[in-house]
Amino acid sequence: MSKLRLPAILVGVSVVSVLAFLSFGSMDKNLVYYWSPTTLRASKPASEGATVRLGGLVKAGSVRVDGTNTVFTVVDDQASVEVRTASIPPQMFREGIGVVVEGHLGPDGIFVSKRLLVKHDENYKAPADGKLSEAQSGSVKED
């Protein structure tokens, strides 16, 4: 063991530290926050442009088709956010259902989404306290 010890330790330490550095740096750039309409509105300047997941209910009467886009409003108890998505909504998508949309808030206050996830459960309740575990649960990726 003695022969290899020093170089091996040096190689080991450098590999591990480079990877640790890379992984923390890379993670920082790839964090996706879950927000409710209320928290998204509250942190408006910071939230513009960042990729976030917005969770809430599709407001009744808000769904319309605009060219190839689908436009609707996501609400919670206090706030609402207008969402525009180019992705075709899945079969389960309808007014009143819980959704999670991934995308970013544009400068015009409209949330642009590339990805629409529908909550996949029959007993839907509005997410409490901005926690979107409800909306996330059992969702099937439909991008």
Partner 1 sequence: MLGRIGDLWVLLALGSASAGAVTGFSAGGLGSHTLLRHTQRFARAFCLFMVLAFVTMEVALLRHDFSVKYVAKVGSLASPLHITIVSLWSSLEGSIVLWGFILSIFLAVFTEWSRDRHPETTPWALATMLTVAAFFAFLIAGPANPFTPAPNPVPLDGPGPNPLLQNHPLMIIHPPMLYLGYVGMTVPFGMAMGALFSGQLGPAWTQALRKALLVPWGFLSVGIVLGGWWAYDVLGWGGYWAWDPVENASFLPWLTATAALHAAMLPSRRDAMKGWTVSLVLVTFLLTLLGTFMTRSGVFNSVHSFTQSDIGPIFLGFLAVALVGCVVLLALRVDGLAGKGEIGALVSREASFLLNNLLLVAFTFTVLLGTTFPLVMEAWKDVRLSVGEPYFNQMALPIGVALLFLMGVGPALPWGEPSTRKVAEALVPPLAVAALVPLVLWGVYDIDRPWPLATFGTATFATVVSLREMATPIRIRMREQRESLVTAASRAFARGQRRYGGQIVHLGIIVIIVAIAISHAWRVDREYTVPTGGTVRFEEYSFTYVRAEHFKESHRERDEVVVEVEGPGGAFTLRPALNAYSTSMNAIGSPAVKTFPTHDVYVSLLSLAPDKSTVGLHIYRNPAVGWLWIATAVVAFGTLLAAWPARKGAPA
Which one-letter amino acid corresponds to residue 19?
A: L
107 forms part of the interface with partner 1 (CB under 8 A): no
101 forms part of the interface with partner 1 (CB under 8 A): no
Burial of 91 (0-12, 13-18, 19+ CB in 10 A): exposed
Consecutive H or E run containing 69: strand 69-75
23 forms part of the interface with partner 1 (CB under 8 A): yes
Among the residue ranges 2-10, 42-50, 71-79, 104-112, the one whose residues contact partner 1 (CB under 8 A): 2-10
Q: Give the C-alpha separation, 129 to 103, whole Å.
A: 21
Contact residue for partner 1 among 45, 67, 91, 107 (CB under 8 A): 91
Q: Give the C-alpha separation, 133 to 137, whole Å.
A: 6
If the CB atoms of residues 31 and 108 are measured against partner 1, the closer one turns out to be 31
78 forms part of the interface with partner 1 (CB under 8 A): no
67 forms part of the interface with partner 1 (CB under 8 A): no
